[in-house]
Chain A
Amino acid sequence: MLKYTLIPLLPLLSFIINILFGRNFIKDKAHWLAVPAVFGSFVLAVSAFMDVQSGNVININIYNWIVSGNFNVTIGFLIDQLTAIMLIVVTSISTLIFIYSIGYMHGDSGYYRFFSYLSLFVFSMLILVMSNNFLLLYFGWEAVGLCSYFLIGFWFHKKSAADAGKKAFIVNRFGDFGFGLGVILVFLTFGSLEYLQVFGKANSVIGQTINIFGYNLDLITVICLLLFCGAIGKSAQMPLHVWLPDAMEGPTPVSALIHAATMVTAGVFMVARCNPLFSLSHTAMNTVAVVGGITAIFAATIGLVQNDIKRVIAYSTVSQLGYMFLALGVGAYSAGIFHLYTHAYFKALLFLGSGSVIHALHDEQNMQKMGGLKKHMPITYWVFILATLSITGIPGFAGFFSKDEILYRAYLGGEVGKGLWMLATVAALLTAFYSWRLIFLTFHGKFRGPHEQEHHLHESPKVITVPLMLLAVGAVAAGWVGIPPLLMEHGDKIGEFLAPVLGHPHGEGSHSEEMMVMGMSVLVALAGWYIAYKMYVRNPELPQKVGAKFKPVYNLLYNKYYIDELYNRIFVQPTLKFSDKVILGFFDKSIIEGVVNGVPNLIGVFSSKFRKIQTGLLSNYGLVMAAGALAIIGYMLFLR
């Protein structure tokens, strides 16, 4: 039992010690504690994985957190097949990112702070995936949000970074509001917050309705949609995706951590975890699938024209998360989790690789000022190639297996699924295009930056490249546990492993259909590469021409569909105006300050009148005293 408790506890310990003693004692040795702690978690997670694989599902309660009437919440861990996979993903990638950060953050004044926040982040994520009830899940959910705020705004002296941190936190609050309501509704409906009890009773509430504002709505659907609200925020789906690209303001290891191992996967994990509820609501499932599919293509189109290397990868994350939700929405939960797992490796690799590039170019993130880095940074280049082959879905690489599984499941997903399959296939084409565009702009051609910088270009130190190479192994091989049965008998090990929790996806297609889907996905991947190659290697002036020809489209995409501007107009400005005019101008100035200043003013008015009594003349006091004495004597003599 202690073993499982230690998994989240080690990073927590690292956080506490680093944050308390970092500033004065630990300073630039913060990683001495943080790296072993998270590596220890990884070792324990592997051991927990072994336990689960041998058939033990662990469900332990450690502590009675809240006991109040029939409201009973424990701090307890549920480690089943789903959690085991998440534990491996989170801890393995975190370990590599921690090691990478030693090199990347070297010499930063907030070095100890960085490692303590990273540790807290990992702790929160581990609590999130390990909890056995909704409230502890909610705790982890909020804690990763908080950590993302700390880390995105890590360089808080930069205004854009501080703003991005706030944006991430506030946008997440919108989703979390719905999620919180969902958790409350779960408790009101089932009288418990423990997963197993809730899911056990799930069938008993089918068909029940709930009255909201006079409409009778299906109870399960409402619960699922509210929970999904949280997932939309945390996993950056439309329309709450706006925080994720801005999160690029944080240090690159943070981007990798947020995008690959923690935070954004939380939404996917949560929906997969709640699959017994979601499966009961057709509406909720379709919503999940449609939101996922639209986000996948929507984010991919924006990624086509961005120039910031990290932003391109950020939009690619949003797009890939869309794939995951698409899979969840068509009932292929294990495909979604499979993609989460492969995506974690190649996306962490892409981010850390771009970090290596940015490091070499002294914080230059604009791809238009890069180019020709291939010969200067061979290791970074080759791991980038591997990650790109993986994300674009070239057969044999990790991304191929998971993405193909999703596309196939979408194809089998009925009317809605077919449409979404087409969207997702187009998105795959776009993914291939922008991924290769990134490679060609960064590593091929001539260096377009300042001339004197070219001589300083160098490969990153080992502490950065070794984690990259390890991740590259993951980006290539992670998918080999999920080979579709078409290509290999009993190849889909991960699907079978997850089946006890997530069930089998329903619907079986013919071999020819599966071949067709697979062929299509490979075809679009190659087509994406070809177009990018034509445009950025063969005819480097072509992109400008195309951009000029389709100016309105280009501007629309370049400005991210003006969604930030739209939100600014609809939500931010009115809120600011309201705060300024009503809250500050009226409420604070008139009411609060009125009360605060009014009381002393009243006292002042009274005292200025009454102080006149104090004449300072002894004879006056004497007279009053004598009159008083007379009055008392008179009363005693005559009135009693």
Chain B
Amino acid sequence: MVPLSWYIILSALTFSIGVFGFLARRNLIIVFLSIELMLNSVNISLIAFSHYLQSMRGQMLVFFIITVAAAEAAIGLAILIAFYKNNPTIKVDEINLLKG
């Protein structure tokens, strides 16, 4: 039986990797993947708690998160493509139209 803490540590590590990728990488696709990674690390911890507490609530929440993440990825990538058609770049630091 794997203890709960391992799952939590795994979740925390994945989340941190996601945060790091979000902050450090310049490729917009990778940034997107990092966001997905963060969402899924949360899913891991939710499922672990769900199992530990013998409650289905956490798993139910996970389904919602997966649905929302899918929709978000679809819209995000659509925006990305539309943007790319006008400005042929996907580097985050070159996308600064709102710079003050």
Contact = CB atoms under 8 A, between A and B. Distances in A.
B24 interface: yes
Interface string B80-100: 000000000000110111111
Contact of B22 (A613, A614, A616, A622): A622
DSSP class of A's interface residues: helix, strand, loop or mixed? helix
A616 B19 contact: no
Contacts of A619: 22-24, 92-93
B19 A626 contact: yes
A626 B38 CA distance: 12
Nearest to B19: A626
A544 to B, nearest CB: 85
Contact of A615 (B23, B24, B96): B96
B39 interface: no
A613 B99 CA distance: 9
B16 to A, nearest CB: 10
A506 interface: no
Interface string B10-40: 0000000001001110000001000000000
A615 B100 contact: yes
Contacts of B98: 614, 616
Contact of A617 (B19, B24, B92): B92
Nearest to A619: B23
B64 to A, nearest CB: 21
A623 interface: yes
A616 B99 CA distance: 4
B92 A613 contact: no
B22 A617 contact: no
A612 interface: yes
Interface residues of B, number: 13
Contacts of B93: 617-619
A158 interface: no
Contacts of B100: 610-616
Contacts of B19: 626
Nearest to A626: B19
Most chain A beta carbons < 10 A, residue from B96, B97, B100? B100
A622 B19 CA distance: 9
Nearest to A614: B100
B36 to A, nearest CB: 15
Contact of B97 (A613, A616, A623): A616
A606 B54 CA distance: 56
Nearest to B25: A619
A618 B99 contact: no
Contacts of B24: 619
B30 to A, nearest CB: 12
Contacts of A626: 19, 23
B31 A618 contact: yes
A217 B93 CA distance: 87
Most chain B beta-carbon neighbours within 10 Å: one of A611, A619, A623, A626: A619
B4 to A, nearest CB: 19
Max chain B Cβ within 10 angstroms of own Cβ: one of A611, A614, A618: A618
Interface in A597-640: 610-619, 622-623, 626
A141 B97 CA distance: 68
Contact of B23 (A610, A613, A616, A622): A622
A618 B90 CA distance: 12
Contacts of A616: 95-100
Contacts of A612: 100
A615 B99 CA distance: 5
Interface in A386-413: none
Nearest to A620: B23
Contacts of A622: 22-23
A175 B19 CA distance: 84
B79 to A, nearest CB: 13
A95 B22 CA distance: 94
Contacts of B95: 616, 618
B80 to A, nearest CB: 12
Contacts of A617: 92-93, 96, 99
A168 B31 CA distance: 81
Interface in B37-73: none
A611 B96 CA distance: 14
Contacts of B97: 616
A400 B98 CA distance: 94
B98 to A, nearest CB: 5
Contacts of B99: 614-617
A623 B23 contact: yes
10 A-B pairs closest in CB distance: A616-B96, A616-B99, A614-B100, A611-B100, A618-B92, A619-B23, A616-B98, A622-B23, A622-B22, A623-B23
30 contacts: A610-B100, A612-B100, A613-B100, A614-B98, A614-B99, A615-B96, A615-B99, A615-B100, A616-B95, A616-B96, A616-B97, A616-B98, A616-B99, A616-B100, A617-B92, A617-B93, A617-B96, A617-B99, A618-B31, A618-B92, A618-B93, A618-B95, A619-B22, A619-B23, A619-B24, A619-B93, A622-B23, A623-B23, A626-B19, A626-B23
Given A614-B99, A618-B31, A619-B92, 18 more contacts: A610-B100, A611-B100, A612-B100, A614-B98, A614-B100, A615-B96, A615-B100, A616-B99, A616-B100, A617-B93, A617-B99, A618-B93, A618-B95, A619-B24, A619-B93, A622-B23, A623-B23, A626-B19
Interface of A: 610-619, 622-623, 626
